[in-house]
Amino acid sequence: MFHVTTLIAETERREKALLENPPPSDADVAAAKDAVTSRAGGGSEALKEAKASKEEIKAGVAELTKAKEALAALEARSEDAGPAAAEEGGGRQGAGGLCGRLLRAAGVLTVSGQLQVETYACALSSVYTFGPTFRAENSHTTRHLAEFWMVEPEIAFADLEDDMKCAEDYVRFLCQWLLDNCRDDMQFMTKMFDKTALDRLAHVATSPFARVTYTEAIELLQQAIKGGRSLRMRLSGASTLPVNTRGTLRRHISRRQ
């Protein structure tokens, strides 16, 4: 768990200031706009047409200027009270800026919802989380983002066999859902980018998954190296298999089925 402290002191200062000096309501701003409109309607040109004296024209202009200044002050206070208000001379973005939206208050980041959802799993047996998270460890592939959305199931009293079955069923479900609900999109992808996209989706949705142990995977890769395949890696019993080995494993395993 990571406690985000950026801008906490600034947030506390702003909250205290808002309590002492509450921001104007929408009705206050609307009333100020009406005041400007009414005074503009009776402005200097109207007074001149009515042959008003210079003193009356000067007073009318002063009232209009005062009303505009009051409106500007109300709008500035209303904007400053917003969640992403701009700060003069600061590093925050203006209204609607990403920094203002994300860091306007204290927060807690986590790489996983696992800890929080484990209590639910103990009571309900099978639960899952889905939401934004971030990667705290180094990644061994460029396909992994630092921030991403993740589905994370928690199943009570499950073993590795149950975990694999859950993952396989979910992948098959997603492939079938794409075929049932996004066929036009997939046909476009097949036509423009990947001629085998639809066939591969249908194959995954209807075929069982092949399973190998880590030891078997190492043996298959060693056979591939003996056959002339260059993997640019040193195989050992404790190494992490890089992404470039997956295609080799897939081809060798598919031949055994």
Predicted confidence (pLDDT) per residue in 54-107, tens digit:
676 677 777 878 888 888 888 887 776 654 443 433 444 444 455 555 555 566
Indicate the pTM of the whole model: 0.54
User: Cα Rg for the chain, rounded, in angstroms?
Assistant: 32
User: What does the H/E/C string look like for 50-74?
Assistant: CCCCHHHHHHHHHHHHHHHHHHHHH
Given this model, what pLDDT does residue 42 score? Answer: 56
Reported as half-sphere exposure (CB side, CA atoms, 13 A), residue 189 has a value of: 13
Distance CA 171, CA 143 (A): 18
Stretch among 113-122, 126-135, 242-251 having the lowest mean pLDDT: 242-251
Render pLDDT for 210-254 as a digit per residue (tens, 0 to 9): 888 888 888 888 888 887 777 666 666 656 777 778 788 888 777
pLDDT for res 10 = 64
- 54-80 and 26-41 helices cross at what angle (nearest 10)? 160
Tokens 């460029």 identify what position?
Answer: 142
* Residue 136 structure tokens: 């705290």
The percent of the chain in helix, strand and coil, each rounded to the nearest 5, is: 55, 10, 35
Tell me how far CA of residue 51 lies from CA of 14, 48, 59, 107, 165, in angstroms.
50, 5, 14, 63, 90
Question: What's the pLDDT at 101?
Answer: 53
Q: Determine the pLDDT at residue 35.
A: 81
3-state SS class at 152: strand
Domain ranges in the chain?
Answer: 11-102, 110-154
- HSE-up of 233 (CA within 13 Å, CB side)? 20
